[in-house]
């Protein structure tokens, strides 16, 4: 039987934080060192009075359309798609304007996937795949399958989950 796998988008295959940091630099002239982001989300790293600004970026139509793809994600997902029933699962409803952008982005970079494999949703507690890859442990709360935490600067201090460091590492563990 083919196992099923749910793969997150933001900070797992897509890089919204790189873009948010660029926009933040454009607006405030400040960059962040790896030390400043260590153990924090980007929103946690900016001064409290700028937190709404980050939300505003993410709610800007088009923001999610031209994000960078994480290295090796295209190649590895293509192979995972042969071996598993693969679904892209994103809690995209948090940013309603992102829905069309995310759909178009997926079609552009992962043309071997079909629309039936795109799950742009709200709460991920509905996910019942055998395997799940996500950078946020809150998405594993009700998950009964095998969870892999996708490594990111914001989750470095979290323990108790098997990690995937990058897509090359995912290939070693899952292919």
Q: Which of 10, 101, 134, 135 is catalytic?
A: 10
- Closest contact distance (angstroms) between CB of 50 and Mg ion is 21
Number of chain positions touching Mg ion (CB under 5 A): 4
- Closest contact distance (angstroms) between CB of 89 and Mg ion is 10
Q: Which residue in the set 5, 6, 11, 64 belongs to the binding site for Mg ion (CB under 5 A)? A: 11
| Among 11-19, 37-45, 104-112, 159-167, the segment contacting Mg ion (CB under 5 A) | 11-19
Minimum CB distance to Mg ion smaller for 10 or for 101: 10
- Closest contact distance (angstroms) between CB of 63 and Mg ion is 15
- The one-character DSSP state at 112 is T
- Closest contact distance (angstroms) between CB of 49 and Mg ion is 25
Please calculate the CA angle 139-70-107 and round it to the nearest 5 degrees. 85
Site for Mg ion in 42-101 (CB under 5 A): none
Cβ contacts of 37-41, under 8 Å, gap ≥ 24:
37/153, 37/154, 38/153, 38/156, 39/153, 39/154, 39/156, 39/157, 40/153, 40/154, 41/154
For the question of residue 8 being annotated catalytic, the response is yes
Do the bridges between strand 68-69 and strand 85-90 make them parallel or antiparallel, or are there none, so unpaired? unpaired
**Under rule CB under 5 A, residue 8 binds Mg ion:** yes
For the question of residue 52 being annotated catalytic, the response is no
Binding mask 113-152 for Mg ion (x = CB under 5 A): ----------------------x-----------------
Can you list the alpha helix ranges (DSSP code H) found in the chain?
A: 16-28, 34-37, 42-45, 51-58, 73-83, 98-109, 167-174
Alpha carbons 27 and 57: distance in angstroms, whole number: 11
Do the bridges between strand 14-15 and strand 68-69 make them parallel or antiparallel, or are there none, so unpaired? antiparallel
**Under rule CB under 5 A, residue 10 binds Mg ion:** yes
Looking at the annotation, which residues are catalytic? 8, 10
Q: Which residues bind Mg ion (CB under 5 A)?
A: 8, 10-11, 135
């Amino acid at each position: 039987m083919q196992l099923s796998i749910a793969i997150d988008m933001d900070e797992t295959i897509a890089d919204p934080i790189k873009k948010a940091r660029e926009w933040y630099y454009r607006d405030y002239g400040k960059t962040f060192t790896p030390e400043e982001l260590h153990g924090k989300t980007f929103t946690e790293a900016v001064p409290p009075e700028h937190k709404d600004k980050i939300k505003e970026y993410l709610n800007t139509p088009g923001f999610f359309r031209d994000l960078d793809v994480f290295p090796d994600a295209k190649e590895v997902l293509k192979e995972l798609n042969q071996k598993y029933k693969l679904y892209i699962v994103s809690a995209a409803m948090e940013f309603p304007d992102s829905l069309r952008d995310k759909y178009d982005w997926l079609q552009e970079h992962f043309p071997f996937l079909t629309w039936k494999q795109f799950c742009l949703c709200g709460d991920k507690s509905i996910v019942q795949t055998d395997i799940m890859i996500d950078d946020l442990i809150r998405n594993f709360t009700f998950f009964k399958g095998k969870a892999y935490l996708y490594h990111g600067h914001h989750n470095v201090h979290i323990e108790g989950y098997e990690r995937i460091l990058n897509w090359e590492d995912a290939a070693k563990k899952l292919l």
